[in-house]
Amino acid sequence: MVARTDDIAFVLLDDEPGEVIPVGRGPGLPGLLEALDKMAVRPA
C-alpha cells in the first residue's frame, strides 16, 4: 500500500508489518509513483 502527498510517499510492506517507509522528494520518487500508478487497480 502506498499513500502519497505532493512531495512524499509512504510505503507499507506485507513483509515488514508496522514498518512505514517514507520516500521523500528526490530522483527516485517520480519513477516510484509512475510505476505504482501503472499497477493501480481502478474501478470501471
Residue 3's pLDDT is what?
Answer: 62
Q: Give 2: exposed, middle or buried? Use CB within 10 Å, 0-12, 13-18, 19+.
A: middle
Distance in angstroms (rounded) separating the CA atoms of residues 13 and 20? 8
| pLDDT tens per residue, range 1-44 | 666 666 777 888 888 888 988 888 888 888 888 888 888 888 87
Put the strands of the sheet holding 8-12 in their side by side order.
2-4, 8-12, 20-24
Dihedrals phi, psi of 6, to nearest 5 degrees: -70, -25
Domain ranges of the chain: 2-39
Residue 7's pLDDT is what?
Answer: 73
Residue 40's pLDDT is what?
Answer: 80
